[in-house]
Structure 1
C-alpha cells in the first residue's frame, strides 16, 4: 500500500525556490508602502531598507542553518518543535499561522482596491472572488504549475522595475545637484524614525521564510534551500534598496506627496507621466497575484505538516490529493479564509501578520542556539560565533521589533494563541502527554499513513 500513498514530489530546483520566494515577498511591494515608510523615516527610506535587510539577513542565516538539519516541510514549526520541544513547536506553528493564513488576504484586498479604482463600475468583491478562484485552482493543480507561473509573475515585476530604474536614471542625467548619499546621511537623519520604518519593512522580506515550506519538494533541499533563503533575502533587499534610492532621488521632498498611501504614483508621474503610473498599477496587481499564489501554497503545506503528525486532525489536514499530490483540502480551506478579504481592511490583517511572523523569526533564531550550542555542544570560538552570536543578534532584533507592535496586534495575537493553547491541551490530553512529533523519514511516513487508510 505504501507504493500508492501520495507524497510531495521533489521537482523544484534552486531557481524555482528563489522565484517562489521572490514571488512571495513581491519585488514591487516596496512601492506599496513607499509613502508611509518614507514619512516614518523622515525622508530616509533607503536607510530604513538597509537596516531592515541587515536585520533579516541574521534571521535568514538562522533559517539556512536549520534547513540543513531538518529537510521536512513545516518551516519554523519544524525547527522549534525539534529544537525547543514539541509543545513549544506546536505553539510556534500555531502562532505563525497568523502570518501564513492571513497574508493572502492582503494581496486580495490590494487587488480589489486597485482594480475597483481602475474600473469603478465593478465592485471590489467581484475582483477578489474572481482572483481567489483562479489562484486556488492553480494551487490545487500542483507546485510545478505554481513555479511556472512564478517565473512569469516575477519576470513582469522585474521588467517594470528595470523600466522605472532606466527612466529614473534618464530623468537624473544632467542634474548638477545630485547627492547620491543624501538618502543615507542627509539632513534630518534620526535613529528612532529609521528603526520604526525598518520595523514595518521587515514584513516585506517574508519570502525567505516561505522557501523553507517547500523543503520536501526540492530536489536537493540541504544544498538548495539554504542558498535560496539567502538569495531571496539579498535579492529582495537590493531591489527594495534600488527602488527606494531612485524614488528619493527623483522625488526628494516627501512632504509634497499628494497622498502618502499612494506616494509611488507621484514618483511614477514625475518620471514617466500617467503611462508609467498606469504600469505601476498593473505591476502591483501582478505582484499581489504572485504573492497570493505563493502564500496560499505555503500555508497549505504548513497545515499539512501539522496535520500529518497529528497536531491537527490528520484526516482533514494531513492528506494529499491522490490526483494532484497536493494538500488540496488545505488549499481550499485557505481559500475559504481568504474570503475575509471582502470584509477586512489592510491595517487589521497586517496586525495578524506582524505578530505571527516575528514570533516565528524569534523562535528560529533561538532554535539555532539551543540545537547547536546547548544540545550538540558546539562551543569552540568559531562555533559560538556561528551558532551563538549571529543568531543571538537576530533574536534580539526580532524581539525588539515584536515589542514595538501595536496594542491591537497583541490583542489579536493573544486571542489566537489562547485558541492554540486549547488545541494543544486537547491533543495532549490535558498536557499529560507530549504532542505528536514530525516524522522525517519518508518510508516511515508512508508506512504510518498507509496503515491508517
Structure 2
C-alpha cells in the first residue's frame, strides 16, 4: 500500500486493510471546516423551524426564555467535550470520549445511542427537505408517495456527496451556511426593523397569565425540553477529529464556537418572529398551523414564499450532510475497534481521500428504510428517539468525566478549563441528567396516544435490549482502546494527539486503558 502523505499524521491504528496496512483517515479539515461542519449539523434554520411552533404553543411567547437556559446547560457540556476532544482527538466523538474516560461498555452505549439517534435524524431531515423542495419546484400538495420518492433522491444525493470527498462536503456546507446566515439574520432584521407588531412585554406574558411557580414548573419545562433539540450537533466537530489539523486545539474551539454562533442566530430569529406574529392572541387561541411561514409571508408578502422554501431546503440539506458525516465517523471509529457486527467492512476506507464509504452507505440505507415508514405511528415513535439518542450519547461521556474528576484521575490535554474544570464538569453532568429526565417525561403535549407520550421511554428500552444483545455478541472481540493500542505500538505508531503523546508522563495507566 502506498501511504498517503497525510496518513502519518492521523490516529489510525487498529483496523487493517487487505494488504496489511493500517487504516488511517487523512487530514483534510481546518478549524474553519470543523466549525462549519458543526454549525451545519445544528443548522439555525432546522433548529428554529423544528421547535418554534412547539415552544410557542406549549409555553406562549415567553418560551424564548428557554433558549438562554438551554444554552447555559449545553455550553457546560460543550466545554467538557472540548476537554475530552483535546485529550482524545479520535474519530467518533462521544464513543471515543466515553470509552477512554470510563471504559468499553460506556463507550459502546454512547455509540449505540448516537448512531441510532443520528440515523433516525437523517430520515427526518431528508423527508423534511423533500417537503419543502417539492413546493419550491411547483409541485403543489404532493402525496406521500411523491414526497417519499423525493426524500429517497435526497438521501442518495447526500450520501454520494459525502462519499465523493471532503472538498465537495466543505464547499456545500460553507455555501449553505452563507445562505443560512444571510437568510436567517437578514429576514429577522427586516422583521425587527419594519414589521414588529407586538410590544416587547409579550416576551414575559407567560409570567402574567399564570403564577410564576406553575409557569416555571410546567410550560417552561416543556419548552426547555423542545429547545434542547435545537442546541445539539456541535459535537460533530469531534466526530471528524482525526481529519482536522491540530485537533487537540482546533476541535474544542469548533465545538464551543459553533454552539455559541448557532444559539445567537436562533435566539435572535425567535425574538424577531414572536414580535412580528400578526394577531398573536388568535394564533395562541387556535394553536394550529405554521406560525413561522405564516408570519414571514404575511409580513414580507407572497413573493417571499418560494425563496423561503428554498432557504428551508438549504438548511435541511446542509444539516443532512453534516449529520451523516458525523454518524459515519462514529460507526467507522467503532468498527475500527471491532465493536460492531460487520466491522471488517465498515472499517474500510476507500478512494484517494480515504473516506469511510461503507459506513456512509450504511447510514443512507438505514435512513432510507426509515423514510419508507414516514407517516406511520411507528415512525412517529422512532423520530422521538432522535432527541433521546442525543441526550444519552451526550450524558454518558460527561458523567464519565465527572466520575474521573471526583476520583482524582483526570489529566488535561492541550485545551483545559483549569481550576474551573471540576465545577463545570459536575454541573454539566447534573444538567445532562436533568434534561434527559425532562425530555423523557411523558406529557400530553407529546401526542394524543399513550404510545406517543411514552415513546421516549419505549424506544430507549427497546433499543437498549437490542443493544445489549449486539454488545454481548461483539464484546469478546473488541480491541483495546485506541490510546492504549498506540501506546503499545511504541514510537512507530501513528501519533494521535500531536502535542500530547499518549505516553506522556503523569498519565496514569488506568486512564490510558479507558478506565479513568
Do both share a fold (TM > 0.5)? yes
Moved over 6 A (4+): none
- The whole-number CA distance in structure 2 between the counterparts of 1:163 and 1:436 is 50
The correspondence for 1:198, drawn from 224, 228, 249, is: 224
- Report the equivalent of 1:17: 34
- Report the equivalent of 1:269: 297
Following superposition of structure 1 onto structure 2, how do residues 216-295 of structure 1 map, counting pairs within 5 Å? Answer: 216-251=242-277, 253=280, 255-256=282-283, 260=288, 262-295=290-323
- The whole-number CA distance in structure 1 between the counterparts of 2:488 and 2:475 is 26
Mapped pair 1:143 → 2:170? no
| TM-score of the superposed pair, with normalisation by structure 2 | 0.79
- Residues 343/325 of structure 1: CA separation in 2 closer, same or farther (3 Å cut): same
Gaps of 5+ in 1: none
The correspondence for 1:132, drawn from 155, 161, 164, is: 155
Contact 2:61 2:202 in 1 (8 A): no
Q: Could you say what secondary structure the match of 2:208 adopts?
A: coil
- The whole-number CA distance in structure 1 between the counterparts of 2:148 and 2:410 is 55
- The whole-number CA distance in structure 2 between the counterparts of 1:356 and 1:229 is 19
- The whole-number CA distance in structure 2 between the counterparts of 1:219 and 1:398 is 30
- The whole-number CA distance in structure 1 between the counterparts of 2:435 and 2:380 is 17
Q: Deviations over 1:38-73 (max 9, x none)?
A: 111222132111212112111111111111100111
Root-mean-square deviation (Å): 2.9
Contact 1:36 1:260 in 2 (8 A): no
- Residues 105/259 of structure 1: CA separation in 2 closer, same or farther (3 Å cut): farther
- The whole-number CA distance in structure 2 between the counterparts of 1:377 and 1:324 is 35
Contact 1:247 1:267 in 2 (8 A): yes
TM-superposed deviation, 1:377: 5.9
Contact 2:116 2:386 in 1 (8 A): yes
- Report the equivalent of 2:81: 63
- Report the equivalent of 2:470: 423
Q: Deviations over 1:369-400 (max 9, x none)?
A: 23344252679xx9896333222222222212
- The whole-number CA distance in structure 2 between the counterparts of 1:259 and 1:17 is 39
TM-superposed deviation, 1:344: 2.3
- Report the equivalent of 2:447: none
Q: Deviations over 1:116-140 (max 9, x none)?
A: 4551357102211211111111111
Q: Could you say what secondary structure the match of 1:23 adopts?
A: helix
- The whole-number CA distance in structure 1 between the counterparts of 2:130 and 2:243 is 32
- The whole-number CA distance in structure 2 between the counterparts of 1:162 and 1:60 is 24
- Report the equivalent of 1:310: 338
The correspondence for 2:427, drawn from 376, 393, 397, is: 393
- Report the equivalent of 2:501: none
- The whole-number CA distance in structure 1 between the counterparts of 2:238 and 2:344 is 24
Q: Deviations over 1:143-191 (max 9, x none)?
A: 2321111001111111111321232133247x7x743x64257634621
The correspondence for 2:92, drawn from 61, 67, 74, is: 74
Q: Could you say what secondary structure the match of 2:366 adopts?
A: helix
- The whole-number CA distance in structure 1 between the counterparts of 2:233 and 2:117 is 12
The correspondence for 1:170, drawn from 162, 185, 193, is: 193
Q: Whose helix fraction is larger, Structure 1's or Structure 2's?
A: 1
TM-superposed deviation, 1:278: 2.9
- The whole-number CA distance in structure 2 between the counterparts of 1:126 and 1:205 is 30
User: Which shows bigger deviation, 222-231 or 93-102?
Assistant: 93-102
- Report the equivalent of 2:361: 332
Mapped pair 1:343 → 2:373? yes
- The whole-number CA distance in structure 1 between the counterparts of 2:411 and 2:331 is 33
| TM-score of the superposed pair, with normalisation by structure 1 | 0.89
- Report the equivalent of 1:413: 460
User: Which shows bigger deviation, 96-105 or 216-225?
Assistant: 96-105
Contact 2:91 2:333 in 1 (8 A): yes
Contact 1:109 1:342 in 2 (8 A): no
